[in-house]
Amino acid sequence: MRLAPALPPGCPWSGFTPPNVDWCEREACAWIVNPAEAWSNVAYLLGALAMWRLARTSSSGDLAHFAPASLAVGAFSFAYHASYTWLLQFFDFVGMFVFCFLVLARNAVRLGWIAPQRERAAWLAGTVAASACVPPLFYAGVPIQATVFVLILGSVAQELALFRRRDASASYASYWAALALLAAASAFSLADVTRAWCDPESWLQGHALWHVLSAAALVSLQRFYAAQPRP
């Protein structure tokens, strides 16, 4: 099992197991260990507010799940980056799974794989199952970050299948925008973790930009689903 470097003894979080990845930002001996990576999660809160407003004005009541899901992503990610601990890194993955399976379950209904009344159960079951896989993968030394990438690819594959069936008048502008934002976010995060672009003392961190850009992608995804007809 490969871990990030431990915090020095005497630091607020030094008694906890560190996470499995060491992002570029230098760790501070403080309650908020990685401030840029922690506070950039405010973007998910702002995104949740935008989602909440859209859900209130939309005729599709089920859009209301998007704002709490975005809030969960941001809250758990903030806790993880503030603490620099494996314990709260686990909940960071739970937050990401909450949003990923919200999309996967929605697409499963649109594809006719499950009945609309089973969507919430599929969302919950997927989140719980994926979360249960994280600890054994972590202790086996598997790069658990790949699980989120696989789920994103799965949702894209679903959407490609739906794209082939689409009505000619259907607009995919918000969906392509979401994919472009996710691609840019991933590029910044990869540059960060590989140290291709890294200034440990700067507030401009690649993984922090992942938070900001991916939050915008989630908002764009909700806008796309708001325009889709429900089965």
Alpha-carbon radius of gyration of the chain: 18
> Which residue in 130, 78, 75, 68 sits closest to 104, CA to CA?
130
What are the tokens at 32? Answer: 């908020």
What's the angle, vertex CA 154, arms to CA 192 and CA 156, rounded to 5? Answer: 80
Query: Using CA atoms, how far apart are residues 44 and 213, in angstroms rounded to an integer?
Result: 10
Most distant CA atoms of the chain, gap in Å: 62
pLDDT digits (tens, 9 = 90+) for 143-176: 898 999 999 999 999 999 998 887 656 789 999 9
Tally of CA atoms within 13 A in the half-sphere of 101 that contains its CB: 22
pTM above the 0.85 mark?
yes
Query: Using CA atoms, how far apart are residues 194 and 6, in angstroms rounded to an integer?
Result: 19
pLDDT at 169: 61
Residue 61 is given by DSSP the state G
What are the tokens at 208? Answer: 């922090």
> Does residue 227 sit in helix, strand or coil?
coil
Burial class (CB in 10 A: 0-12, 13-18, 19+), 58: middle
pLDDT digits (tens, 9 = 90+) for 30-45: 999 999 999 999 999 9
pLDDT digits (tens, 9 = 90+) for 52-103: 999 888 766 568 899 999 999 999 999 999 999 999 999 999 999 999 999 9
Domain ranges of the chain: 35-226
Query: In the predicted model, what is the mean pLDDT of residues 196-217?
Result: 97
Question: In this predicted structure, which of 142-146, 163-167, 177-181, 209-213 has the lowest mean pLDDT?
Answer: 163-167
Q: Which residue has the tokens 């925008």?
A: 177
Q: Which residue has the tokens 């702002």?
A: 46
